[in-house]
Amino acid sequence: MHHKMATIECEGKSRLAELRKYAISGGISNMYYTSTGSASDGVNVSLSDLNVYPQIVVYYVGGITYKDIIYGNAEDTTLITYEPQGYSSPDFIDAPTYKDPNKSQIVQNPKVYNDVFIVRQELSAFDKNYKLKDVKSLAALKTYASGRYFNIVSNS
């Protein structure tokens, strides 16, 4: 069963500059990329006319039809028309979704308690080395508790 989708129409900003070529003079086909339908981006030469007042330029960008009515002043208008493709559209997502029942009553962001501070012990990185100054003999060094960090080689 195929349903005809309603055409979406609105006013918006002109996107004609996106189709402009580097040519500064000539006809529409010389100054803009051309197209004959919304399947490809470009100006539709057969529906556009720069020789009338106001100028009419019909073009397509991203499958959307734009119609610029150009007066040459602040009254320039851009009419936008879009024909939705319904279920066959690449913009339509048909995928199963899962709603976690444990999160069904959550209606706001979690509350963050930022008054929790972690007190860490402050130790010098060379604390064990500084304590070595109190070791006066090799026998004391062998029984030194932090001696495990040092490789002690004795020849006796």
C-alpha to C-alpha distance for 109 and 103, rounded to whole angstroms: 12
Residue type for 154, please? S
Q: Give the whole-angstrom CA distance, residue 33 versus residue 59.
A: 9
Give the pLDDT band of residue 3 (cuts 50, 70, 90). Answer: low
pLDDT digits (tens, 9 = 90+) for 6-49: 788 899 999 988 998 888 888 888 888 999 988 899 999 999 88
The structure tokens 């100028």 sit at: 55
Convert the pLDDT of each residue in 72-117 to its tens digit.
888 889 999 988 877 777 777 778 888 788 877 777 787 787 777 7
User: Confidence band (pLDDT; 50, 70, 90) for 66?
Assistant: very high
Q: What is the DSSP string of 77-103?
A: EEEEEE---GGGSTT---------GGG
- Is the pTM above the cut of 0.85? no
Half-sphere exposure of 32 (CA within 13 A, CB side): 22
Burial category of 43 from C-beta neighbours within 10 Å (exposed 0-12, middle 13-18, buried 19 and up): buried
pLDDT over 60 at 154, yes or no: yes
Altogether, the residues listed in the chain come to a count of 156
So what's the pLDDT on residue 145? Answer: 65
- How far apart are the C-alpha atoms of 98 and 88, rounded to whole Å? 23
pLDDT at 58: 94
118: its two tokens? 């972690």
